[in-house]
Amino acid sequence: MTKANLLLRRLTQAIRKLGAVTLFFVGMLQALPYAVRRPALVSRQVHNAGVLSLVIIMTSGFFVGMVIGLQGYDAFSRLRQEDLLGAGAALTLLKELGPVVTALLFAGRAGTALTAEIGLMRATDQISAMEVMAIDPMGRIAVPRFLGGVISVPLLTAIFNSVGILGAWFVGVQLMGVDNGAFWSQMQEYVETGDVNEGILKSVVFGVAASLVAVFEGYTAEPTAEGVGLATTRTVVITSVLVLILDYMITAFLL
Amino acid sequence: MTDAQADRPMIEVEDVRFSTAGRVIFDGMSLTVLRGRITAIMGPSGTGKTTLLRMITGQLRPVSGRVLVDGQNVPGLSRHELFALRRRMGMLFQNSALLTDYSVFDNIAFPVREHTRLPETLIRNLVLTKLQAVGLRGAAQLMPTQLSGGMGRRVALARAMVLDPDLLLYDEPFSGLDPISMGMVLRLIKVNNDVLGVTSVVVSHDVEEINQIADYCYVVSGGRVIGAGTPDELKRSDSELIRQFMSGAPDGPVPFHYPAPDYRQQLLNEGQRHD
Ligand SMILES: Nc1ncnc2c1ncn2[C@@H]1O[C@H](COP(=O)(O)OP(=O)(O)OP(=O)(O)O)[C@@H](O)[C@H]1O
Ligand SMILES: [Mg+2]
């Protein structure tokens, strides 16, 4: 096969997949009422995707914050502006690192679990069994997990940011001797509502993207052990690349 | 129900053609399942018995031909109509297909909670009755992963019949069961049929067992029905094909092997190349 042919086939595959994802998303919207009438299903998924990710999010957040504290202190002290450390750390976390790193961690911790779980349900005929029982598996399985992710990611991002700022404070104020009052007052001075909103917007978009990829890959996984394994890998790869691309697009759009 | 409806067969499969992954599974497949009877479908492994059940439940669509259930053409139904029809069906899956994140009790209660507004106390009684019938009342609080294969199958059976459907499809209900459980499942299928008037379709390899309860049998091979009749008729059939199947001889007109190149030829060629 010639290179042009191969490229054309890849392109067709990509477009076809995009179409499949769109149809899947529309299918979930149609099944939305079913899940909304059963909030217990959704809260269970918020627990699975959100609460169970807390440890990894908080640990990572604290260490990322501490690194920002160190690097920020180093940079600002060259300019003799150590007092700005609080503002610098908060802006970095709120606008960029918080949403991005949380989404990447979410894909690795919760996204893979979602894909593997749904893929195994398909492989063991659980999804077929529901269909035969006249229960829509989209409403029962896909939508609650999707919503659980969409709700969890912004909340996890907020927690990541808070813990991260504490990490930066710990290194900057406690270890490096930045003035405690200056750390917080400069943060208040320079962080604006728009910065916070940018972070919230990103975390919501990333949450939708990461959850959609995870649920879609699981739902359409080939019903074999190998197929589920491949789908899980695809979840991490696709989400990671997608989040970084979306991050650039949102940033460029907002600036 | 009018007389015409009552006389109408529960399932009519008419000249169905189906292929998957480039392989033709059915070609000219036709059979009829009468209301209130136990109909057995037998045939070698891989002939498409599970596929046939999936077409009856509307999970797979034939390439051509009609699949009528209670007079409705299943492939032509809207999603809403299909779901309405499925509420009157129960299916026992070949691999149980229990929901792994629910306990045994909740698995059986699941379709009841979804489709009725019965109070929890009634649901409890209903579920325990069905569990008692399959001898697993004591296992109500176990999770599916804690069950053996045979136990899982019996739980799946309880789930399939919990809403007292009009039509029950059993995919290999006896495989992996000990003789006592097998006798119990046989009696259950019979009782469902005699007492509740359920129409039953039983896919099975266990010729001896199924012949004890079946009113009518179909033998499927090579994508179509190769023999039909009551168990006695089939045993006395003058077709060599049918007798081979009913007596379980490995060699005869019904191929035991999946289509393959000539055995001797392949072994001889093995040294030179791998197919
Ligand atoms: N997803 C699939 N992709 C490709 N081929 C399939 C698929 N599912 C089933 N088949 C093929 O369809 C044929 C019929 O399969 P089916 O499961 O209906 O057989 P069966 O009669 O139920 O066999 P058994 O008695 O072993 O359960 C098999 O030959 C199988 O190779
Ligand atoms: Mg089968």
- Ligand 1 contact, B223 CB (< 6 A): no
- Ligand 1 atom having least distance to the Cα of B52: 18
Domain region containing B72: 3-88+165-274
Q: What letter does residue B215 receive in the DSSP assignment?
A: S
| CA-based nearest distance A129→chain B, Å | 6
- Closest-CA residue in chain A for B85? A134
pLDDT of residue A1: 61
| Nearest ligand by distance to the CA of B54 | 1
Say yes or no: CB of residue B22 within 6 Å of ligand 1. no
Establish whether residue B29 lines the binding site of ligand 1, counting it when its CB lies within 6 angstroms of any ligand atom: no
Predicted local distance difference test score (pLDDT) of residue B242: 78
pLDDT score, position A36: 92
Q: Which of A225-239, B45-59, B109-123, B232-246 has the lowest mean pLDDT?
A: B232-246
Identify whether B15 is part of a domain: yes
Ligand closest to CA B220: 1
Pairing of strands B224-229, B216-221: antiparallel
Cβ-Cβ contacts under 8 Å, A126 against chain B: 97-100
* Residue nearest (by alpha carbon) to ligand 1 atom 31: B46
**What is the number of structural domains in chain B?**
1
CA distance A136 to A236: 27
Q: Which amino acid is at B212?
A: Q
φ, ψ of residue B255 in degrees (nearest 5): -70, 135
Q: What is the mean pLDDT of residues B58-86?
A: 93
| pLDDT of the residue at B6 | 61
| Those residues with Cβ within 8 angstroms of residue B56's Cβ, 6 or more apart along the chain or in another chain | B11, B13, B67, B69, B74, B169, B201
Q: Do A133 and B110 touch (CB under 8 A)?
A: yes
Beta strands per DSSP E along chain B: 11-20, 23-33, 38-42, 64-69, 72-73, 89-92, 167-171, 199-203, 216-221, 224-229
Structure confidence at residue B105 (pLDDT): 96
Q: Which residue has the tokens 């320079």?
A: A190
Say whether pLDDT at B176 is over 80: no
Closest to B48 (Cα-Cα) out of B20, B76, B75: B20
- CB spacing of B111 vs A121 below 8 angstroms: no
pLDDT for residue B49 is more than 80:
yes
Whether B156 shows a pLDDT value over 60: the answer reads: yes
ipTM surpassing 0.85, yes or no? no
Instruction: Tell whether ligand 1 has an atom less than 6 A from the beta carbon of residue B46.
Output: yes
Name the band, by pLDDT with cuts 50, 70 and 90, for residue B270: low
Taking the CA of B25 as reference, the closest ligand is 1
Nearest to A128 among B59, B83, B111 (CB): B59
Q: Are A238 and A214 in contact (CB under 8 A)?
A: no
Rounded Cα–Cα distance for residues B16 and B13 (Å): 7
Residue B146 lies in a domain: no
Rounded to 10 degrees, the C-alpha dihedral A139/A140/A143/A148 comes to: 150
Per the domain annotation, does B126 fall within a domain? no
Residues in contact with B174: Cβ distance below 8 Å, sequence separation at least 6, in sequence order: B182, B185, B186, B204, B206, B209, B210
Distance B47 CA to ligand 1 centre (A): 7
Beta bridge partners of B90: B168
Give the separation between CA A178 and CA A154, rounded to whole angstroms: 30
Q: Choose one of B51, B57, B220 to mutate for the ligand 1 pocket test, by most ligand atoms within 8 angstroms of C-beta.
A: B51
pLDDT of residue B231: 85
- Decide whether any atom of ligand 1 lies within 6 Å of the B95 Cβ: no
**CA–CA separation, B136 vs B115, rounded Å?**
24
Mutation for testing the A interface, residue in B95, B166, B167, B168 having most A CBs under 10 Å = B95
Quote the ligand 1 centre to B16 CA distance (angstroms).
Answer: 16
Mean local confidence (pLDDT), B8-18: 92
Q: Take atom 7 of ligand 1 and give the residue whose Cα is closest.
A: B20
CB pairs under 8 A between A and B: 46
A133 touches chain B (CB under 8 A): yes
Banded model confidence at residue B251, pLDDT cuts 50, 70, 90: low
All residues at 6 or more sequence positions from B255 whose CB lies less than 8 Å from its CB, including other chains:
B44
- What is the tens place of the pLDDT at every residue in B186-234? 998 998 888 888 999 999 878 888 888 999 999 998 888 988 888 888 8
Q: Which parts of chain A register pLDDT below 70? A: 1
Q: Say which of A129, A135, A136 has its CB closest to residue B93.
A: A129
**pLDDT single digits (tens) B77-93:** 999 999 999 999 999 99
Ligand 1 centre to CA of A135 (Å) is: 25
Location of structure tokens 């809207």 = B78
Cβ of B211 below 6 Å from ligand 1: no
Rounded to whole angstroms, what are the CA distances from B103 to A86, B76, B125? 51, 36, 16
A133:B114 CB<8 A? yes
* pLDDT of A106: 97
- Whether pLDDT at B1 is above 60: no
Q: What is the CATH number of the domain that holds B198?
A: 3.40.50.300
Q: Does residue B174 lie within any of the structural domains?
A: yes
Residue B264 falls inside a structural domain: yes
Is residue B221 within 6 Å of ligand 1 at its C-beta?
no
- The atom of ligand 1 lying closest to the CA of B54 is 18
Chain B residues touching A31 at Cβ < 8 A: none
**Cα B51 to ligand 1 centre (Å):** 7
Residue B221 inside a domain? The answer is yes
- Supply φ then ψ for residue A149, to 5 degrees: -70, -45
B21 pocket-lining for ligand 1 (C-beta < 6 Å) = yes
* Min Cα–Cα distance to chain B from A140, Å: 10
